[in-house]
Amino acid sequence: MTLDNIINYGIIGFGRYAHRRLQPAFQKTKYSRLAGLSRRNIRSAETTAGQYDVPIFTDKVKELVSHPDIHAVIVASPPALHREHVLLAAKHKKHVLVEKPIASHAGEVQEMIDACAKAGVKLMAGFVMRFIDAIRQSREMVQSGKLGKIRYASGHFGLDVSTFPRAWLSDPIISTGGPVADLGSHLLDLLDYVLEKPVVSIQSIVKPPYSQKSIERDAAILMEWEENILGTLHFSFDVIRESGLIFHGAKGKLTLTDFNQPETMIEIVWLSEKGRKTIRIFNQNQYTRMIDHFSEAILFDKPILTPGETGLKNQMLIDRIYGR
């Protein structure tokens, strides 16, 4: 695609996530360069571009996606705008990496898949947690049978939203949902990745119920996967910040806590018949890996770990939890 094997990215919606995660991740990419950005206000766009030495900046998404020097975009706008931005990028033949939660409902994700297929561009769902070393190690342990037959999985992901600077998060129309959409999307995808089993049933208690007027505060989910694997999940916007995953097998148990900080040491606690063992793994930068993975898929026509279809599967679960 490019002479120097580098994909030039434009970030649609250079907000908090782009500042904290994407821009630092681009410092270490091999096949990817941050070449453009859009914000709502041209002065803010210019200031941010100057701060990070980004050559292309605009307050119009159309200008970014139609720029000839941009090969791919990362859609990092609020979730309700993802559909519009993905379709616009596809129309201008740009490959798209779209952030989670992917859309307002599954129908929109299908539209994204169809538009990208029609335009001949690649679509990736931004489930960055699959690129975490400790997750990959956990998946390998589950898949290789080290824990015996998996019986039960549980997950928790929560934070105190009152201390969080993202204003749109509590607006149900813009956010498309509360902790289920924002945090749950990640864990639902990780369980799909680690267990690799189709979901048989899913039930939920969502309090207060998600509606077009307000988001939920907490959700408790009861799941069943094929081969009689059971699971429970809790997502919250009113607890101390923590994430955790536990896998119980017939011969062992694996516990992961706060595993998503890039470039930190993560502990996996493995309980087996031989006792308790702590495995320490250094997490590389998962954001760098995710971006370069997409660039490699574009440059060398490699398969994408989380294509649009992974996003669709995830969105369908979220829709079922919300009953929409």
Instruction: Give residues in contact with ligand NAP (CB under 6 A).
Output: 13-18, 21, 39-41, 44, 76-79, 81, 99-100, 126, 128, 166, 168, 174, 182
Beta carbons of 35 and 56 less than 8 angstroms apart: yes
Beta carbons of 233 and 220 less than 8 angstroms apart: yes
Least Å distance, CB 270 to ligand NAP, is 26
By C-beta, is 7 or 25 nearer to ligand NAP? 25
Using CA atoms, how far apart are residues 93 and 87, in angstroms rounded to an integer? 10
Least Å distance, CB 299 to ligand NAP, is 23
The answer for residues whose C-beta is within 8 angstroms of residue 252's C-beta and 6 or more apart is: 146, 147, 148, 270, 271, 272, 273
Angle between helices 185-195 and 308-322 (to 10 degrees): 120
By C-beta, is 115 or 181 nearer to ligand NAP? 181
Least Å distance, CB 97 to ligand NAP, is 11
Question: Beta strand pairing status for 252-257 and 7-12?
Answer: unpaired
- Please report, for residues 29, 166, 176, 236, 239, the alpha-carbon distance to residue 171 in angstroms, rounded to integers and kept in the order given: 34, 10, 8, 16, 19
- Please report, for residues 43, 57, 59, 86, the alpha-carbon distance to residue 67 in angstroms, rounded to integers and kept in the order given: 19, 10, 13, 15
Least Å distance, CB 294 to ligand NAP, is 14
By C-beta, is 81 or 256 nearer to ligand NAP? 81
By C-beta, is 79 or 231 nearer to ligand NAP? 79
By C-beta, is 12 or 233 nearer to ligand NAP? 12
- Please report, for residues 23, 63, 241, 254, 314, the alpha-carbon distance to residue 148 in angstroms, rounded to integers and kept in the order given: 41, 54, 31, 11, 27
By C-beta, is 40 or 118 nearer to ligand NAP? 40
- Please report, for residues 75, 79, 260, 289, the alpha-carbon distance to residue 184 in angstroms, rounded to integers and kept in the order given: 19, 14, 14, 22
By C-beta, is 5 or 27 nearer to ligand NAP? 27
The answer for residues whose C-beta is within 8 angstroms of residue 53's C-beta and 6 or more apart is: none
Least Å distance, CB 70 to ligand NAP, is 16
3 state SS of 294: helix
Least Å distance, CB 161 to ligand NAP, is 12
Least Å distance, CB 14 to ligand NAP, is 5
Least Å distance, CB 290 to ligand NAP, is 9
The answer for residues whose C-beta is within 8 angstroms of residue 242's C-beta and 6 or more apart is: 156, 157, 158, 257, 258
By C-beta, is 150 or 188 nearer to ligand NAP? 188
- Shortest-Cβ-distance residue relative to ligand NAP: 15
